[in-house]
Amino acid sequence: MISHPSCGFHEVGDDHPESPNRLHAINDQLIASRLDAIIDKQQATQATKEQLYLAHDKAYVDSVFASVPEQGIVELAPDTQLGPRSLEAALYAAGANVMAVDLVMQGKAQQAFCAVRPPGHHAEYAKAMGFCFFNNIAVAAHYAMAQYGLERIAVIDFDVHHGNGTENIFFDDERVLFCSSFESPFFPYNMGPGNEHILNLPMPAGTYGDEFMQAIGDKWLPKIDAFAPQLILISAGFDSHYEDDMGHFNLVETDFHWLSAELKKLAVKHCDNKIVATLEGGYALNALGRSVIAHIKGIME
């Protein structure tokens, strides 16, 4: 697991759901589950500007750097604010993903989970959105392609919200198979048309785990298998949990565990077990902590 204390310093108000308490909730359940004693923990390094430019418009990245306030809060998009230490947190969040790619590609770890914030999957090529500044998983994918020459990367996103930023960044890049399941109609309301390598899976409010598992088993798993990824990346969002009021899905820990274990089987089959996952949403703190444990167990065991 990769994280950094600075990911707790991105604070934009006590009533904002994307709060430092999310990481505390995960750590709490890591200890309670005893996974804490088993897994290797590493401190992230910051992503460089050059690494961010792999996935984002240079002028956009530079504008985020230039927007950081010395005090107070600057709003880049609705609900998407920078505080004085938010950029630092965002650089560690993206940097954790880069480090995770290095660890699995160099055989130093088989799977890596990045317990980081701010999240990333709503951040588009040149736009902050939905609590996200830099698209952490897109930086990971681009870095893996640039640094290790990978040509087939599967990116799986099971957050309750569509991974519009990831779709936007990879829409014309056939090296990435992007699979996003999400509540629809719902924020961000801009699901693209999808294409051969962008597999959008919209589902209605009230979706339960059996419907979720059946849809993913029918529509994604055979295509990921046929794609034969050289690396599996996961945008792990847990706001699709039954207890999470940010969305209206009815998933529970066993559903996250099931999908994670299915992805693990595909990773074993195609890419020597290489999985990098990063935290996206998940705002009901108790459910978030339990769900992350189920997810980590799914990709590890």
Write out the residues near Zn ion by the rule CB under 5 A: 159, 161, 237, 239, 281
Query: By C-beta, is 183 or 253 nearer to Zn ion?
Result: 183
State the minimum distance, in angstroms, from the CB of residue 130 to Zn ion.
Answer: 7
Query: By C-beta, is 84 or 188 nearer to Zn ion?
Result: 188
Query: By C-beta, is 239 or 262 nearer to Zn ion?
Result: 239
Active site residue 122: yes
The position carrying tokens 């709490």 is 28
Cα–Cα distance, 180 to 187 (Å, whole number): 14
State the minimum distance, in angstroms, from the CB of residue 122 to Zn ion.
Answer: 8
Q: Pick the catalytic residue from 121, 122, 197, 257.
A: 122
Q: Which of 99, 106, 111 is nearest to 233 (CA)?
A: 111
State the minimum distance, in angstroms, from the CB of residue 159 to Zn ion.
Answer: 4
Dihedral pair phi/psi, residue 151, rounded to 5°: -120, -10
* Residues facing 180 on adjacent strands: 157, 200
Specify whether the CB–CB gap between 233 and 145 falls below 8 A: no
Query: By C-beta, is 6 or 180 nearer to Zn ion?
Result: 180
With CB atoms as reference, the residue minimizing the distance to Zn ion is 281
* Residues facing 282 on adjacent strands: none
Q: What is the DSSP letter of 287?
A: H
CB atoms within 10 A of CB 199: 19
| N-terminal to C-terminal alpha carbon distance within the chain | 15
Which residues are marked as active site? 122
